[in-house]
């Protein structure tokens, strides 16, 4: 199933998206917490605004340096264990939303990633049980301010500022994630082209490692790292990130000044 969160002008609704990504069959509530039941109403994807398919109640746990080729391009060693950092729910935005670059951040990069959506409260999950706590998968752009990442030491600002974590376009619940293309492009020019098969730590290991430290709640999101090919993006440019079998997520980048002036 593909589950989206959307608005047609009023409160957010949830729906099932067809295989072509064109039609939405509305469901009665958030499928993370309620049984899936159709309301009977249908929409065209083109007629609604897709929202981030999930707003984490607690946290995004992101993994750094999880593709060898990306760790190499950053001049970093491969970690011996998954390297985790937090992103708050206030950083999440949705498909088409502008990524707003604050005036004090100057070196912005995109990072295409497979995102894992947790389906139930869990702790100390064994890798072989990971699938049972996963609700589904979506696409993330783990937008990063490289200058703040270098200067701050801890990555809270570099990775966790408002709008720096676009998620979408929907959650795919049935997916073999062992070998999926992960790509990005800027203004239509290809930038990243990796595969989840090259992850240093796979999804099951990441779920196990994160849940050994933190209770995971329904709606928590795990970001699984980005392949090589990251690079600068500047205000006015558009970045599209995609994961094979899920879909793509496109966001324009704007400066905070332009956003304040309504030009975003």
Q: According to the binding rule CB under 8 A, does residue 162 interact with its own copies?
A: yes
Mark 99-128 with x for binding to its own copies (rule: CB under 8 A) and - for no binding: ---x-x------------------x-----
DSSP bridge partners of 260: none
Nearest distance from residue 162's CB to its own copies, in Å? 5
Residues 146, 75: contact at Cβ < 8 Å? Answer: no
Helix, strand, coil fractions of the chain, as percent rounded to 5: 20, 40, 40
Run of H or E including 169: strand 165-172
Among 28, 39, 154, 178, contact with its own copies (rule: CB under 8 A): 154
In the 8-state DSSP scheme, what is residue 179? Answer: S
Residues 104, 256: contact at Cβ < 8 Å? Answer: no
Among 107, 155, 198, 257, contact with its own copies (rule: CB under 8 A): 155
Among 127, 193, 214, 238, contact with its own copies (rule: CB under 8 A): 214
Q: According to the binding rule CB under 8 A, does residue 61 interact with its own copies?
A: yes
Among 23, 49, 146, 157, contact with its own copies (rule: CB under 8 A): 157
**Coil, strand, or helix at residue 226?**
coil
Q: According to the binding rule CB under 8 A, does residue 72 interact with its own copies?
A: no
Listed residue (67, 53, 90, 66) closest to 209, CA to CA: 66
Question: Which of these ranges, 34-42, 88-96, 184-192, 221-229, lies near its own copies under the rule CB under 8 A?
Answer: 88-96
**Coil, strand, or helix at residue 60?**
strand
Contacts with its own copies by CB under 8 A lie at 58-59, 61, 64, 79, 81, 83-91, 102, 104, 123, 152-157, 160-162, 212-217
């Amino acid at each position: 199933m593909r589950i989206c969160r959307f608005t047609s002008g009023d409160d957010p609704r949830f729906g099932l998206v067809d295989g072509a990504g064109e039609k939405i069959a509305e469901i009665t509530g958030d499928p993370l917490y309620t049984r899936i039941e159709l309301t009977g109403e249908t929409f065209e994807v083109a007629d609604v605004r897709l929202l981030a398919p999930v707003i984490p109640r607690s946290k995004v746990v992101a993994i750094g340096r999880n593709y060898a080729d990306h760790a190499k391009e950053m001049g970093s060693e491969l970690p011996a264990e998954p390297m985790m950092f937090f992103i708050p729910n206030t950083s999440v935005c949705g498909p088409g939303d502008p990524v707003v670059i604050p005036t004090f951040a100057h070196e912005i990069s995109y990072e295409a990633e497979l995102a894992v959506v947790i389906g139930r409260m869990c702790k100390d999950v064994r890798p072989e049980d990971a699938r049972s706590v996963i609700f589904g998968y979506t696409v993330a752009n783990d937008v990063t301010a490289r200058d703040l990442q270098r200067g701050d030491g801890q990555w809270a600002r570099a990775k966790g500022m408002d709008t720096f974590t676009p998620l979408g376009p929907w959650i795919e619940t049935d997916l073999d994630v062992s070998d999926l293309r992960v790509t990005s492009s800027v203004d239509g020019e290809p930038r990243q082209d990796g595969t989840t098969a090259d992850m240093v730590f796979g999804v099951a290991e990441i779920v196990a490692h994160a849940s050994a430290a933190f209770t995971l709640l329904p709606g928590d999101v795990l970001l699984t790292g980005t392949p090589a090919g990251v690079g600068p993006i500047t205000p006015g440019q558009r970045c599209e990130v995609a994961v094979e079998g899920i879909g793509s997520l496109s966001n324009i980048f704007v400066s905070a000044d332009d956003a304040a002036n309504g030009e975003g």
